[in-house]
Structure 1
């Protein structure tokens, strides 16, 4: 999904924050119930947070083919640890922290394997398979390219706070840095994206 470049009207933003808060509360309750052995709660927990995990992993991971595997690994790790989840943070923040570790472990594993080719075969096929002529498609591709060009630490907090709607305090905990640093990185990412977008 390509994000809109225009800010949402204030009432829509407030409604989205309220919906996200309700989803976070529900997901946390499902995680606690699943940790206690409720099989139905496990399904609700996974469904509620699956999309957020996929989006977060996709922005952290340089290999689009590994996104589904890393998301699956995230949920396998989380489901194995649900009995230890105490609800001190939202289930989404807890799960995204696990996703971050899964991506880092994926990088470590990939670095240990020898590379067979400098140019992956999937790139030309993926480019040819992309839909063309859709409204906003070119803008979305340009925006994703600009986002990918941001330094990793700025991109991570921008994706967490602006695309996934994670509160700044939780983004700081996930990124292992102070809240002020998160705010600064997001502001700098916005400035960089705005300047580069104007140049496009």
Structure 2
């Protein structure tokens, strides 16, 4: 399943961040209602980030769940110095990295000679926006990791350039440059895919 999100305004995002951070702090004290609201407020952002970071929509829900399990396990250490969103996305990033390491260390077995065709047959079809979502994932997957992450955090998740810079540990100008280059590369790829094939000589 492909996750999509419409960009929120800066005011809306700031309000969501403040509320989610307050709910996280309340959940730390054992407030179950606040814990549920914290998850609902940020679940889609985490899912979007995990999908684009991992490039694997099939495992995104498991990784999102793992992110929240890890977050609640370390919630007692969350003090609200950064927003709950930024804190949660850093946990999601580690969850994805750990899944890559685990997958690389695990042997892969298949009971079919054409495992790729078998995987493709299990993909959902006919869902609204499915093909567009897959196309976007393919385009994003072709970007260098740093540019893809900067683009997803700012254009999909909705973090500001300053928040993304703090999250990724680089300068704001670097984030702007990565997003600009990612956008230009995506535009070139998209226009190239849409261009009609040249007639045969």
Structure 1, unmatched stretches of 5+, are none
> Deviation per CA, 1:68-92, whole angstroms, max 9, x where unpaired?
1111110011011111111111100
Q: TM-score, normalising length from structure 2?
A: 0.83
Gapped regions of structure 2 (runs ≥ 5): 194-201
Larger radius of gyration between Structure 1 and Structure 2: 2
Aligned residue number for residue 157 of structure 1: 150
Distance 1:3 1:100, change over 3 A: closer
Q: Which residue of 1 aligns with 2:199?
A: none
How big is the shift at 1:38?
1.4
Higher relative contact order (CA 8 A, sep 6+): 2
Query: Where do 1:80-91 residues align within 5 Å?
Result: 80-91=73-84
Alignment coverage as a number of residue pairs: 188
> In the TM superposition, what is the alpha-carbon distance from 1:146 to its structure 2 partner?
1.5
What RMSD, in angstroms, separates the aligned Cα atoms of the two structures?
2.4
Q: Secondary structure at the match of 1:111?
A: helix
8 Å Cα contact 1:31/1:91 also seen in 2? yes
1:123-142 correspondence runs (5 A): 123-126=120-123, 129-131=124-126, 139-142=132-135
How far did 1:189 drift? 0.2
**Length-normalised TM-score, structure 1:** 0.84
Q: Please, which moves more after superposition, 23-32 or 148-157?
A: 148-157
Q: Does 1:106 align with 2:99?
A: yes
For the Cα contact (< 8 Å) 1:143–1:197, is it kept in 2?
no
**CA distance in 1 between partners of 2:76 and 2:31 (Å):** 11
Shift of 1:39: 1.5
Following TM superposition, by how much is the alpha carbon of 1:141 offset from its aligned partner in structure 2, in angstroms? 4.0
